[in-house]
Amino acid sequence: MLTKSSMLILKRSKVIFNNRFLSTSPQIKTEFANGIKEIVMCNSQARNALSIEMMENLIYHLTSDQQNKELRVIVISGEGPAFSAGHNLKELVSDQSKQQKCFQLASELMNKILDCPVPVIAKVDGIAAAAGCQLVAQCDMAIASKRSVFSTPGANFGIFCSTPGVALARSIPKTSALYMLFTGFPVSAEEAFRIGLITKVCSEEKLNEELENICNAIKAKSRDIVELGKTFYYQQIHYNVKKAYELGGEKMQENLQLPDCKEGIQSFIEKRKPRWGSK
Amino acid sequence: MLTKSSMLILKRSKVIFNNRFLSTSPQIKTEFANGIKEIVMCNSQARNALSIEMMENLIYHLTSDQQNKELRVIVISGEGPAFSAGHNLKELVSDQSKQQKCFQLASELMNKILDCPVPVIAKVDGIAAAAGCQLVAQCDMAIASKRSVFSTPGANFGIFCSTPGVALARSIPKTSALYMLFTGFPVSAEEAFRIGLITKVCSEEKLNEELENICNAIKAKSRDIVELGKTFYYQQIHYNVKKAYELGGEKMQENLQLPDCKEGIQSFIEKRKPRWGSK
Amino acid sequence: MLTKSSMLILKRSKVIFNNRFLSTSPQIKTEFANGIKEIVMCNSQARNALSIEMMENLIYHLTSDQQNKELRVIVISGEGPAFSAGHNLKELVSDQSKQQKCFQLASELMNKILDCPVPVIAKVDGIAAAAGCQLVAQCDMAIASKRSVFSTPGANFGIFCSTPGVALARSIPKTSALYMLFTGFPVSAEEAFRIGLITKVCSEEKLNEELENICNAIKAKSRDIVELGKTFYYQQIHYNVKKAYELGGEKMQENLQLPDCKEGIQSFIEKRKPRWGSK
């Protein structure tokens, strides 16, 4: 999906980011083509550690093109043998203000995935550990190659994976979540698929093909409609089922008033492809 | 389970229904025998669309025999290649009052399944799409033939399956729910079984046999006891686990005071079949 | 894991237990060695029924060594063909004050598992029925031999498994939970594994080996860190995901101030085994 030649390697330059200045960094490459923005963590030497720099960049790239109606899917991947090995240990052992910043950024990163108007997909081909596993579990979907492994081994060196557990508790059965958190044992991609941590598992050769199928399916839909649906999905989860249906009925009616819905239904009746207004 | 000859084909006649008059329709056939009421959607030409008429009839038949102590299980099925293809598109493109009615009825239908004193089982042999898939996911249990498929493709024509998502979010892992909702891709019966959307999958020849096993197991129990259990299950879900146990302890004591409980325990001690008071 | 010769068979003697006196009983044997406390229900004649006596003893042994820093894991198992067949029916048919005591103790037992500072693992080799199945589902993890079976058949004799349903609803998909509760059908260990009720399934010969792997992984970690992690896991579940991440960030910072965390990180940097302060 991402060819070396086509990669936009970000130069260290000051850009405005949430009212603070951010140095974009060589830790991340992005490609934005055909509606798909792939954000590639490429600090393979540090096993794509979610350092403060890396997280600031992920947040920046997750949000920077959200107003661009061409954007339809965001893919997060990692270069090298690790998708991501989690937080930067050096930063965690430094002063408390840096620790605080680290976890505030991690929370912000997770929130940005939840709030992103387009689906965010983790493409995993390697190790996803600790906060790296959290990142996978928090994405809307995840696909992984068979050689990938997932783990939350923080307790091995004294840092329980409490925040990764937030994501695991909401995506896999309790007995699997606590197994991963208490033992720190790695879980194979096949097992991650079995327990519902990832959407698809395939050979590494097929990874981009599988991803493309999913992306094409999303791109065939209206961006506005998908945004409405994603927003509501994460909203209704917090209500009891009857209240959720009540809100859902209102949301369906709101949906029906959108121009892209009228066009979608019309195209269905006329048996032709829809021409979405907002791409 | 439902033989052609024994079917009660409802005639268009005015019957009282929740303080409003309802025309029962040829869209539904029901059979009520041996404690099992099967409600068969039989508008196969319209792929058993959950039209206003269909939903009103489903609600009517879900509730009409609830006071009848002979009623032990309700089965919902569909004639033809589709279990149900979801809402009636024509009704969704008409005026807003009809749209509103459509989603109010859909909510009411889901609530009636939750509130039904006997278990409600979806028997699926075909396509269950959009609100049809929601209906399956909202039933207490679902069994399906191998050739069945499940999908929430609404976004393809501009209507995100927000209300089906309410049911999916509460029955399958997040990563599978969002895959179905964002891509609209159909999911095979085997896959639906894997992710927990359905209770059993079997060949179409075995479908009635599997259903009968489950129904017979329910019928061997007391109706009052099953009602108490179902009601509490959907109630305790909304509490934290410790509060749920506290309420559960009270419910168990309430259960122990029921005549059918005393009879059940007595029969167990005497090693004989229980004679339930309320059938 | 538990050899006959090494077992501490508790004698009937008065011991202080939560401000009340308890007769410890021959219904339970315990072994506490190498950081692992195994609590063995050994009333196989009564299929390890969760009688008042049994539950009081389970609560006693779950809590009695919690201040002992040598304690790292608690394992609950059962001698004979049944892990546990659930409550004692005789006690349930007696006077209401005994019924009340029974369910209060059951709630207390579940709460003690949740509040236990070390992981609690069910080791199942046989039948786990009704409250016995609840006990398995409430443990942090469960491993079972292939010949084990799980069921919630209470409704067969008039007592719906409402409190076991509290545990099932929080550990397996709805469609499986209601299948077990409504039909009372037993579920094989393989099926229990598939639906996420248990963490691992293996041959009975491998059961202790599998358990040991998990226990050793836990023992390699700091007790303080694991306690912090377990406590937070069960706390954050009750919040929406964004609030949970916010609390999680604070918890991670709290974790980083613990002596065992500083030691863990130091050991990681120095590539040596950590020397945990609190064992």
Contact between C144 and C124 (Cβ < 8 Å): yes
Residue environment code for A184-223, b if the CB has 16+ CB neighbours within 10 A, otherwise e: bebbebebbbbbbbbbbbbeeeebbebbeebbebbbebbb
For residue A14, the distance in angstroms to the closest alpha carbon of chain B comes to 36
Binned at pLDDT 50, 70 and 90, residue B3 comes out as very low
For residue A26, the distance in angstroms to the closest alpha carbon of chain C comes to 25
What does the alpha-carbon distance between residue B276 and residue B225 come to, in Å, rounded to a whole number? 10
As to burial, measured by CB atoms within 10 angstroms (0-12 exposed, 13-18 middle, 19+ buried), residue A58 is: buried
Selection from A162, A82, A94 nearest residue A129 by Cα: A82
pLDDT value at residue B243 = 98
What does the alpha-carbon distance between residue B39 and residue B30 come to, in Å, rounded to a whole number? 5
Nearest CA in chain B to C106: B249
What does the alpha-carbon distance between residue C135 and residue B10 come to, in Å, rounded to a whole number? 49
The residues on C that touch B, with CB distances below 8 Å, are 89, 92-93, 96, 99-100, 103-104, 106-107, 110-111, 114, 155-163, 165-166, 169-170, 172-179, 181-185, 195, 234, 237-238
Give the orientation angle of helix B162-169 with respect to helix A241-256, to 10 degrees.
Answer: 160
Binned at pLDDT 50, 70 and 90, residue B278 comes out as low
Q: Which residues sit opposite B21 in a β-bridge? A: B16
pLDDT score of B145 more than 80: yes
pLDDT value at residue A44 = 95
- Which of B119, B142, B221 lies at the smallest CB-CB distance from C156? B221
Q: How many CA atoms lie within 13 A of A239 on its CB side?
A: 17
For residue A150, the distance in angstroms to the closest alpha carbon of chain C comes to 16
Q: What is the pTM of this model?
A: 0.91
| Length of chain C, in residues | 279
Spell out the SS3 assignment of chain B.
Answer: CCCHHHCEECCCCEEEECCEEEECCCCEEEEEECCEEEEEECCHHHCCCECHHHHHHHHHHHHCCCCCCCCCEEEEEECCCEEECCECHHHHCCCHHHHHHHHHHHHHHHHHHHHCCCCEEEEECCEEECHHHHHHHHCCEEEEECCCEEECCHHHHCCCCHHHHHHHHCCCCHHHHHHHHHHCCCEEHHHHHHCCCCCEEECHHHHHHHHHHHHHHHHCCCHHHHHHHHHHHHHHCCCCHHHHHHHHHHHHHHHHCCHHHHHHHHHHHCCCCCCCCCC
What does the alpha-carbon distance between residue A261 and residue A250 come to, in Å, rounded to a whole number? 15
Q: Classify the phi-psi angles of B34: left when phi > 0, otherwise alpha if psi is within -120 to 50, otherwise beta.
A: left
ipTM score of the complex? 0.91
* CB atoms B199 and C163 under 8 Å: no
pLDDT value at residue A41 = 96
- Condensed to tens digits (0 to 9), the pLDDT of residues C107-138 reads 999 999 999 999 999 999 999 999 999 999 99
Contact between C253 and A119 (Cβ < 8 Å): no
Binned at pLDDT 50, 70 and 90, residue A24 comes out as low
Nearest CA in chain A to B239: A240
pLDDT score of A185 more than 80: yes
How far from C178 is each of C8, C106, C137, C265, CA to CA, in Å? Answer: 40, 21, 15, 46
Contact between C209 and C225 (Cβ < 8 Å): no
pLDDT score of B16 more than 60: no
Question: Please, what is the Cα angle at A227 between A222 and A228, to 5 degrees?
Answer: 100
| Tokens, residue C243 | 């609030």
What phi, psi does B186 have (nearest 5°)? -70, 150
Nearest CA in chain C to A195: C196
Q: Which of B93, B175, B194 to mutate to test the interface with A (most CBs of A within 10 A)?
A: B175
Residues in C touching A170 (Cβ below 8 Å) = 241
pLDDT value at residue C25 = 75
What does the alpha-carbon distance between residue C83 and residue C44 come to, in Å, rounded to a whole number? 9
Residue environment code for B223-248, b if the CB has 16+ CB neighbours within 10 A, otherwise e: bbbbbbbbbbbbebbeeebbebbbbb
| Helix (H) or strand (E) run with residue C100 in it | helix C96-115
| Tokens, residue A60 | 């920046």
pLDDT value at residue B66 = 93
| Tokens, residue B207 | 């479908």
Spell out the SS3 assignment of C134-173.
Answer: HHHHHCCEEEEECCCEEECCHHHHCCCCHHHHHHHHCCCC
pLDDT value at residue C106 = 97
Contact between C264 and C222 (Cβ < 8 Å): yes
What does the alpha-carbon distance between residue A35 and residue B100 come to, in Å, rounded to a whole number? 34
Nearest CA in chain B to A224: B158
| Helix (H) or strand (E) run with residue A21 in it | strand A20-23
Cα C86–chain centre separation: 15
What does the alpha-carbon distance between residue C28 and residue C58 come to, in Å, rounded to a whole number? 8
What does the alpha-carbon distance between residue C92 and residue C110 come to, in Å, rounded to a whole number? 19
Spell out the SS3 assignment of B156-223.
Answer: HHCCCCHHHHHHHHCCCCHHHHHHHHHHCCCEEHHHHHHCCCCCEEECHHHHHHHHHHHHHHHHCCCH
pLDDT score of B17 more than 50: no
Residues in A touching B116 (Cβ below 8 Å) = none
pLDDT value at residue C194 = 98
Residue environment code for C237-262, b if the CB has 16+ CB neighbours within 10 A, otherwise e: beeebbebbbbbbebbbebbebebbe
| Tokens, residue A71 | 């954007």
| Tokens, residue B13 | 């006649």
The position carrying tokens 């960094």 is A25
pLDDT score of B23 more than 50: no
| Tokens, residue C88 | 């004692």
Q: Which of C135, C166, C170, C221 to mutate to test the interface with A (most CBs of A within 10 A)?
A: C221
Reduce the DSSP state of residue C244 to 3 states and report it. helix
- Which of B96, B162, B237 lies at the smallest CB-CB distance from A255? B162
Binned at pLDDT 50, 70 and 90, residue A166 comes out as very high
A7 vs C51, residue with greater confidence: C51
Selection from C53, C99, C92, C60 nearest residue C76 by Cα: C60
pLDDT value at residue B26 = 85
- Which of B199, B255, B261 lies at the smallest CB-CB distance from C179? B199
Q: Which of A233, A243, A260 to mutate to test the interface with B (most CBs of B within 10 A)?
A: A233
Contact between A162 and C232 (Cβ < 8 Å): yes
* CB atoms C220 and A156 under 8 Å: yes
- Condensed to tens digits (0 to 9), the pLDDT of residues B199-236 reads 999 999 999 999 999 999 999 999 999 999 999 999 99
- Which of B172, B248, B256 lies at the smallest CB-CB distance from C92? B256
- Condensed to tens digits (0 to 9), the pLDDT of residues C83-114 reads 999 999 888 888 889 999 999 999 999 999 99
What does the alpha-carbon distance between residue A148 and residue C177 come to, in Å, rounded to a whole number? 31
pLDDT value at residue C24 = 62
- Condensed to tens digits (0 to 9), the pLDDT of residues A202-242 reads 999 999 999 999 999 999 999 999 999 999 999 999 999 99
* CB atoms B170 and A241 under 8 Å: yes
Please give the average per-residue pLDDT across A9-25, as a whole number.
Answer: 40
- Which of B92, B110, B175 lies at the smallest CB-CB distance from A171? B175
The share of chain B scoring above pLDDT 90, in percent, equals 85
DSSP state of A7: -
What does the alpha-carbon distance between residue B55 and residue B151 come to, in Å, rounded to a whole number? 20
For residue C4, the distance in angstroms to the closest alpha carbon of chain B comes to 34
- One pLDDT digit (tens) per residue for chain C, 279 residues: 433 333 333 333 334 343 333 446 789 999 999 999 999 999 999 999 999 999 999 999 999 999 999 999 999 999 999 999 999 988 888 888 999 999 999 999 999 999 999 999 999 999 999 999 999 999 999 999 999 999 999 999 999 999 999 999 999 999 999 999 999 999 999 999 999 999 999 999 999 999 999 999 999 999 999 999 999 999 999 999 999 999 999 999 999 999 999 999 989 889 999 999 854
What does the alpha-carbon distance between residue C216 and residue C202 come to, in Å, rounded to a whole number? 18
What does the alpha-carbon distance between residue A158 and residue C81 come to, in Å, rounded to a whole number? 40
Residues in B touching A240 (Cβ below 8 Å) = 237-238
Average pLDDT of chain A? 91
Residues in C touching B234 (Cβ below 8 Å) = none
| Tokens, residue A159 | 């840092």
What phi, psi does A37 have (nearest 5°)? -105, 115
Reduce the DSSP state of residue C243 to 3 states and report it. helix
pLDDT value at residue B42 = 94
Binned at pLDDT 50, 70 and 90, residue B94 comes out as confident
pLDDT score of B7 more than 70: no
What does the alpha-carbon distance between residue A221 and residue A276 come to, in Å, rounded to a whole number? 8
pLDDT value at residue C92 = 87
What does the alpha-carbon distance between residue B213 and residue B202 come to, in Å, rounded to a whole number? 13
Cα A151–chain centre separation: 17
